[in-house]
A and B are shown apart, each in its own frame.
Chain A
Amino acid sequence: MTTHYLVLSALLFAIGAVGVLIRRNAIVVFMCVELMLNACNLAFVTFARQHGNLDGQLIAFFVMVVAAAEVVVGLAIIVMIFRTRRSASVDDANLLKY
């Protein structure tokens, strides 16, 4: 049965979402985002299994590619911000507002 996989996926997603909301460190937030993405991947793969076709697996590969690209860009930005501002806290980077 696939229900357990879905529950796990939902739990992982919830952990990731809460992490994004409550953690200040940009790296941790970033990892939480990755966690959410992978929770989704798990759900996709599960559904692929459940419906007996490959659509979900296909999407999972797309997500992985996007996530990888995102890590490249995102980490570069975080590193740059840390270098200039000596802080990796997301609350300190709030200039882009109003």
Chain B
Amino acid sequence: MQSPVEIFQHSGGVIGVSWLMIALPLLGAAVLLLGGRRTDRWGHLLGVVMSLAAFVVAVAAFVELLGLPAGERRRAISLYEFIPGVADTGLLIDPLSISFALLITGVGSLIHIYSIGYMSHDPDRRRFFSYLNLFVAAMLLLVLSDNYLGLFVGWEGVGLASYLLIGFWQFKPTAATAAKKAFIVNRVGDLGLLIALFTIWSVFGSFAYKNLGAGAVQDALAGGSLSQGTVTAIGLLLLLGACGKSAQLPLQSWLLDAMEGPTPVSALIHAATMVTAGVYLVVRSGAFFEAAPTAQLVVTIVGVATLLAGAIIGCAKDDIKKGLAGSTMSQIGYMMLGAGLGPVGYAFAIAHLITHGFFKANMFLGAGSVMHAMNDEVNMRRYGGLFTVMKITAVTFFIGYLAIIGFPLLSGYYTKEGIIETAMEHNEILGWLAVLGAGLTGFYMSRMVFMTFFGKRRWADDAHPHESPSVMTVPLVLLSIGSIGLGAYLILGNRFMKFLAPAVGLPAELPEPHIFGVGTVGLATLALVAIGAAFAWFRYGAAEVPEVAPRGSFLTVFARRDLYGDALNEALFMRPGQWLTRIAVFFDNRGIDGLVNGLAAGIGGTSGRVRRIQTGYVRSYALSILFGAAVVVGALLYVGTM
């Protein structure tokens, strides 16, 4: 492996002002939040403009970066001293971060535009756009920061935006609960990330990526200041953080509930961008993971476990958004698997992340379009035959569908295939499990498409579906174009791998991607996908879909209940936690405070008894005086005799 090139200090040019990417959406959010109702009329437009402006800056920075020689494509911009002696605020523009920035601002802008239509009836549309802008700013800070502390600030910032947006319809108790759950589960991951940061600090005394490259880690290992155990711990703790944000096992439970948010949020945050931050973290921290093979292995295991779990959940969901959420989990599992496989895997993981950003956002927005047409109905058993009434939505959704199941020549085919092939080289068991996941993808995605767009109409009586306005369909079309061609563009000729090399290193041996691979693995994958799709057609396309879900087999119930993830969390953490809280409150009131009040009551009671001596009878006082005098005289006499 060739180690990444050093980081150059940069000034001037568009890259020099790339902080505008963060500042502009942040400004938009601030104006919309502080402006209040006065900005209601044009608030959404400002939101879109700010997002588009960030996109323009990102594109310009990207072009400028491409103009530089490949070896110098890592540009740091220091902005100001954040915590003196600990970390500065600065940005790092390199191929990895700019890829993310393009995805976030590009797909983000399309979703902003789409939301104008989708949220047009909501009285709080302005607030929605301010949160979206806030999210974009935070997410860009996450990926552009040149140090872990800045990353953490962005990391929590997107968590906040996610919290606000999931709970956007906060008057619904389910939405409020889902938002809170997402934040708290994420915080568990953040705890891991925090401790990883502390460990990095205690070893290296810095959070800046430039001091934490592969060279620095290897030196520290060789010099004995960093033990193998510590670097493995760092890797695992970072992974815990990544699991929280990316909804990987065991912190996956929040993502399905997060679908309570408006659909554009699900598309932007819970499919295309924020949930992939974990993958970004693992790739960005490649130096630690490559020095810790155990941690890498755990990353791949988590990835495979999640990709299967997500796929299984996706198979049983009747709620179209939850089905897509399961699919998102599963696809991020693929990325995580790739991220645990070293530089080749990184390139495929990030490429899959980008193409997934397109086709998943495409499908989520398509689902939103369907819901918009069906009076916010999410149950696919109440859909059916929608192809004829909403052609644009159906066709774009279908393109996304083909991309995700890995239909040859479409985006997902190249990127997912790359991850599976690379995994196969590392570990055959993981590889075949990933193939199995691809087959499941073929099943549950086909099921979704057949239940929604084909078959008999099972609509509610008052449903009158219609195609969505063009402000919603144009983003769909643009996203579906990305879903078609982006994969081939990135993967063929190792274009993306070479582009990414300055950030993550170039593998010693480059894979040889084909336009259509004919290896065993590739063909097996395709065959499984085809079987899955055919089975779905058999069950949900050709056959009648009952309007009420049948009870289903043990496996179906298992999947429908999210693999009992919530039940497990409840049994292991929530209920014991509630008991602990109750016991602690009881202990505080009766134990500690009881002791204090008991002491006070004891003193009070004693004094109450002692004061009875004051009878009010002068003669008894006189007797006690006499007694006291006698004692004093006695004592004096006693002392005198000594």
Q: Which residues of A contact B (CB under 8 A)?
A: 17, 20-22, 24, 29, 90-91, 93-98
Contact = CB atoms under 8 A, between A and B. Distances in A.
Interface in B500-541: none
> 4 closest A-B pairs (Cβ-Cβ)?
A97-B616, A94-B616, A90-B618, A20-B622
A21 B615 contact: no
Interface of B: 611-612, 614-619, 622-623, 626
Given A98-B611, A98-B612, A21 B618 contact: no
A95 B623 CA distance: 19
A24 B617 CA distance: 10
B614 A97 contact: yes
B626 A93 contact: no
A20 B624 CA distance: 12
A21 B626 CA distance: 9
Interface centre among B612, B618, B626 (most CB of A within 10 A): B618
A47 to B, nearest CB: 16
A29 B618 contact: yes
Nearest to A90: B618
B317 to A, nearest CB: 77
Contacts of B623: 21
A94 B622 CA distance: 14
Contacts of A29: 618-619
Contact of A94 (B611, B612, B615, B626): B615
A20 B616 contact: no
A94 B620 CA distance: 11
A90 B619 contact: yes
Given A21-B623, A93-B618, 11 more contacts: A17-B626, A20-B622, A90-B619, A91-B618, A91-B619, A94-B616, A94-B617, A96-B616, A98-B611, A98-B612, A98-B616
A96 B623 CA distance: 17
A21 B620 CA distance: 8
Contact of A98 (B614, B617, B618, B626): B614
B617 A90 contact: yes
A49 to B, nearest CB: 22
Contacts of A94: 615-618
A35 to B, nearest CB: 13
Contacts of A22: 619
B124 to A, nearest CB: 67
Contacts of B618: 29, 90-91, 93-94
Nearest to A94: B616
Contacts of A98: 611-612, 614, 616
Contacts of B611: 98
A4 B622 CA distance: 27
A78 B236 CA distance: 91
Nearest to A24: B619
Nearest to A23: B619
Nearest to B630: A17
A40 B623 CA distance: 18
Nearest to B623: A21
B616 A95 contact: yes
Contacts of B612: 98
Contacts of A97: 614-616
A97 B612 CA distance: 8
A77 to B, nearest CB: 12
A98 B616 CA distance: 7
Contacts of B626: 17, 21
B617 A21 contact: no
Contacts of B617: 90-91, 94
A52 B617 CA distance: 43
Contacts of A21: 619, 622-623, 626
A60 to B, nearest CB: 20
A96 B626 CA distance: 20
B634 to A, nearest CB: 15
Nearest to B611: A98
A88 B521 CA distance: 119
A84 B626 CA distance: 30
A6 to B, nearest CB: 14
A7 to B, nearest CB: 16
A29 B617 CA distance: 13
Contacts of A24: 619
B573 to A, nearest CB: 57
21 contacts: A20-B622, A21-B619, A21-B626, A22-B619, A24-B619, A29-B618, A29-B619, A90-B617, A90-B618, A90-B619, A91-B617, A91-B619, A93-B616, A93-B618, A94-B615, A94-B616, A95-B616, A96-B616, A97-B614, A98-B611, A98-B616
A95 B618 CA distance: 11
A29 B620 CA distance: 13
A91 B614 CA distance: 13
Contacts of B615: 94, 97
B60 to A, nearest CB: 89
A3 B626 CA distance: 24
A31 to B, nearest CB: 14
Nearest to A33: B622
Contacts of A91: 617-619
Contacts of A90: 617-619
B614 A20 contact: no
Contacts of B622: 20-21
Contacts of A96: 616
A22 B612 CA distance: 22
A91 B622 CA distance: 12
Contacts of A93: 616, 618
B435 to A, nearest CB: 91
Interface centre among B612, B619, B623 (most CB of A within 10 A): B619
Contacts of B619: 20-22, 24, 29, 90-91
A98 B613 CA distance: 7
Contacts of A20: 619, 622
A42 B617 CA distance: 30
A90 B618 CA distance: 6
A24 B619 CA distance: 8
A3 B622 CA distance: 28
Nearest to B608: A98
A20 B620 CA distance: 10
A29 B619 CA distance: 9
A90 B623 CA distance: 14
A91 B616 CA distance: 8
A21 B629 CA distance: 14
A17 B617 CA distance: 16
A32 B619 CA distance: 12
Nearest to A26: B618
Interface centre among A21, A95, A96 (most CB of B within 10 A): A21
